[in-house]
Amino acid sequence: MQHTVREITLDNGAKGLLLHVPGVDVVRMLVEFRAGFDLGDWGKYELPHVTEHLMFTNQSYPEPNQFSREVEKNGAFCNATTSDTSLAYEYECATFEAERIAGLIGIQITEPTFPARELTSELNNVADELDNDISDPGPAVNNNLQAAAYDMPDFRRRRDQLSAITEDDVREWYRQTHTSDNMRFLVAGDVDFDTEVLPGLNVDLPRDERLAVPYVASTKLEEPVVEYRDMPQIYYRFTSRLSQSYSYRELIAARLMSDALSAGFSATLFGEARDRGLVYDLAMRVGRDTHTTEWNFGGPVSPAHADTYFQLAADKIRQAQNGDISGEQFDRMKRLLRGNRARKYQTPGSLLSYYDMFLEDDHYEAFEEFYRLLDDITLDEAARAFAGLFQENVWGASFLGNVDETAAARYRDIVSPLWD
């Protein structure tokens, strides 16, 4: 999608990217503070999330949901999310609304009141979210693995900790994290940023510094994490972690090989698994953060097919580690990724999802760099980058559903040679 990028630092110290996208009728805005779970006290793990929920009541709009109604009165959308490292506020609006919405963002991040009456309500809402996550086998199997590998609270412990979170905790978390130097923003659209958007974001917040992302250590799990549930399928999750953050080139190289396994019906693992009726779907992803790079592999499988499927997965992943796929297959994957990318980034919101790498370290790669790397990376380079994700032997497996410890151990053993 045609666009230009402008990097800017506001007078208040906040840094951001302005993406001019000619001809679009919507504007997407994201304002982020480094204020996520990993920076907090894991004894009150959900404090950043509870703070997020309470950021929608403020001095200008003091009644419950009054602020949200004001945002959406002309069709604008707003949301907030909490991740391991960030608390982010997201808005999308029609172009004619850009100035008004930017002003409302400024109100939201500078005027929260944290009324006691709403703390009780939002604690209940967060508890409901956690109950939904517990009930959903996909998030639950992943959370079980994370809790064991990182020695962190699982969903149930997080829910139990909610009663300990106080109004003073929320106010202090906001005070520590919502400083202008800890603020980053991304805006995409066809507007005059200098007159319509930036005045609303150049807000009067305390000055401090950009908070550092802590390193969270993980350990190899010698046994699988197993949770039995009375259901037809088994949900599984494997993860492998490397204690370094790949460069952008290394990341794209590793993703090429991961996608050669999993992306589309021509993929070596997914294609054959579907042809043989072993699984309906699977997910495989390579991601990085400030300190690490991680490979994740998961999905549902029926007990009747599990042994055969995990053996197929082990064989195909080993082939990818060794670069044992055809040049034709590799080129086909490059073509697929090129087309997928062109199709994916067609809105201001989708463009922000690419440039959110800026939130990590105030750096971004030019959008066209992906295509250059796609042409330049060889099969051998992709195989080396992918195999490197397994070299430190820090990994784990989690199973949830119609599975017992004996079967789970067998499935883990089938896949474990990938780390030899």
| Residues 190, 80 share a domain | yes
Kindly report the CA angle at 390 between 385 and 392, in degrees rounded to 5? 115
| Residues 402, 339 share a domain | yes
Q: Kindly state whether residue 210 falls inside one of the protein's structural domains.
A: no
Q: Is the pLDDT of residue 64 over 90?
A: no
Give pLDDT tens digits for 46-57: 999 999 999 999
| Residues 137, 8 share a domain | yes
Q: Residue 201 and residue 196: Cα distance in Å, rounded?
A: 10
pTM of the model: 0.93
Q: Kindly state whether residue 207 falls inside one of the protein's structural domains.
A: no
In this prediction, residues 74-86 reach a mean pLDDT of 96
Q: Kindly state whether residue 336 falls inside one of the protein's structural domains.
A: yes
Q: Residue 56 and residue 70: Cα distance in Å, rounded?
A: 11
Q: Is the pLDDT of residue 96 over 90?
A: yes
Q: Kindly state whether residue 279 falls inside one of the protein's structural domains.
A: yes
pLDDT for position 399: 99
pLDDT-derived band at 1 (thresholds 50, 70, 90) equals confident
Percent of the chain residues topping a pLDDT of 70: 100
| Residues 115, 24 share a domain | yes
| Residues 182, 101 share a domain | yes
| Residues 244, 197 share a domain | no
| Residues 304, 267 share a domain | yes
| Residues 395, 262 share a domain | yes
| Residues 361, 304 share a domain | yes
CATH code, domain carrying 401: 3.30.830.10
**Are 177 and 39 within 8 A, CB to CB?**
yes
Burial of 22 per CB tally in 10 Å (0-12, 13-18, 19+):
exposed
| Residues 134, 20 share a domain | yes
In this prediction, residues 198-224 reach a mean pLDDT of 95
| Residues 148, 15 share a domain | yes
How many of the other CB atoms lie within 10 Å of CB of 33?
28
Percent of the chain residues topping a pLDDT of 90: 95
pLDDT for position 354: 94
Give Cα separations from 280 to 43, 45, 308 (angstroms): 39, 35, 14
Q: Is the pLDDT of residue 342 over 90?
A: no
* Range(s) of the domain holding residue 162: 4-201
In this prediction, residues 215-241 reach a mean pLDDT of 97
| Residues 262, 373 share a domain | yes
Q: Kindly state whether residue 409 falls inside one of the protein's structural domains.
A: yes
In this prediction, residues 274-302 reach a mean pLDDT of 97
Give pLDDT tens digits for 115-153: 999 999 999 999 999 999 999 999 999 999 999 999 999
Domain total in the chain:
2
Give pLDDT tens digits for 154-202: 999 999 999 999 999 999 999 999 999 999 999 999 999 999 999 999 9
